[in-house]
Chain A
Amino acid sequence: MKITVDEAKCCGAGQCVLIAPEVFDQREEDGIVLLLDAEPADAHHAAVHEAATVCPAAAIRLNETA
């Protein structure tokens, strides 16, 4: 799995941080998403999927084949 985030779309809601804190964080100054791990281990995949669907800005994209 390869994750990309669209900083321009992100509204800093932090839902991804709550669901998958090992993979996502937020910038201090404006809360915009910080990708900690673009290719997380299998153990995190379910949480990353959940984060991508819950993200209110549709700012998280997943490439499953990569």
Chain B
Amino acid sequence: MTTSPVADDAPAEIPAFPQPRAAACPFDPSPELRGLAKWGPLTRVRSWSDSTPWVVTGHAEQKTLLSDPRLSADFSHPGFPSPVPHTGGKREATDLSFVGMDDPEHARLRRMVSGAFTIKRVEAMRPVVREMVDDFLTRMLAGPNPADLVQALALPLPSLVISELLGVPYEDHAFFQTNSKVLVSAVATPEERAAAHTNLYEYLDQLVGEKLAGPGDDLLSGLGRQITAGELTRREAAAMGVLLLLGGHETTANMITMGTLLLLQHPEQLARVREADDPKVIVSAVEELLRYLSVVHLGRRRTALEDIEIAGRTIRAGEGVILLGELANRDPAVFPDPDRLDIGRDARHHQAFGVGTHHCLGQPLARMELQVVYPALFRRVPTLRLATDLADIPFKYDAVIYGVYELPVTW
């Protein structure tokens, strides 16, 4: 063990990050990324901006660090290891509310909306989500065969669910789906991302204004009441609206398509999901799919506010830290034979929703949607199969949230 910056077990040359996945293994982290683990639970990489942040590969170290208040999630910190180039400077252009803040500010804002995501509130929505899934499937089956599962089910479902919860008119879905997609794209220019952010922000700001004038019982109306009570500014409310609308979209949508695609490669496990009488089988399968797929890939991003000693290394104050959940979720010390998909294993310790104070706010909702959607899909469409070769599926190698652009299916 040593705390010198270049330890014996450091690579001679700092490897570039990130590296594309291997075309033959679209469900696995890239071989280069996995190779980083051989340098220990912590090593340095060279990012697109030529900075050399730390990457953390181990499950235990990620859990420790993400629970450490000395790591900041503030996007505007100079040492922040941003996954994408950004226009810089202007805080407003990237304001995503509490996901980019530290406690106590983070907790103040998060706790204004967290009551909408309790287990009880989410359970109460389950029958409604079942009906929504049935409607989308009825429409898909009545339409052209083959169909694109992304457009028929995976994107509209989470979009409709989060719209109803927030009180956003679903008729506007083309507008907010398009802008969300640009925001999580790694190939969009900083200007395009900033424009998409402004579009969403202005849209939410106008909606908050409407809720102030005529409140309903949705989440945005609740924020309106907080504004009236003087506890929240209109800017804070609109930025929170953008975060929630966005957070509910691409993440869940990509889990629906990637989970379906992965189960189609494992017909025996798919059959167990289709035929399960016991809801525990589905709950467990969803956790394993979350672990295995880790769609929010390429790392939680943080900056060290103070020197932090971990695993025999010192992260210096001001240095960037990238915590790779997709590697934590394949850590053999926690998940035996981690590259094997096994819907029967206990995968609950996965980090697909992050860890610590920024642990996904929407996770009870996302879990419930996934628990409803997979069995419903395979039961209603028992002959479901790919309408193309796996090799021809366009994967989102270029996006912050991993998945597929299209999933042509037939039945």
Contacts and interface: CB of A to CB of B under 8 A. Distances in A.
Interface of A: 8-9, 11-15, 17-18, 26-32, 53-54, 56-58
B359 to A, nearest CB: 4
A26 B355 contact: no
Interface in B370-387: none
Contacts of A54: 348-349
Given A53-B349, A54-B348, A11 B356 contact: yes
A58 B67 contact: yes
Nearest to A29: B115
Nearest to B111: A30
Contact of A56 (B112, B114, B117, B354): B354
Interface of B: 63, 67, 107, 110-112, 114-115, 117-120, 348-349, 353-359, 361, 363-364
6 contacts: A11-B356, A30-B115, A31-B115, A31-B118, A57-B356, A57-B359
Contact of A31 (B67, B114, B356): B114
Nearest to B359: A56
B357 A12 contact: no
A14 B354 CA distance: 15
Contacts of A28: 115, 118
Contacts of A17: 118-119
A26 B115 CA distance: 9
Contacts of B119: 14, 17-18, 26
Contact of A57 (B67, B112, B361, B364): B67
Contacts of A9: 357
Contacts of B112: 30
Contacts of B120: 26
Contacts of A26: 118-120
Contacts of B349: 53-54
A15 B363 CA distance: 10
B359 A13 contact: yes
Contacts of A56: 353-356, 359
Contacts of A15: 348
Contacts of B357: 9, 11, 57
A30 B114 contact: yes
A43 B306 CA distance: 43
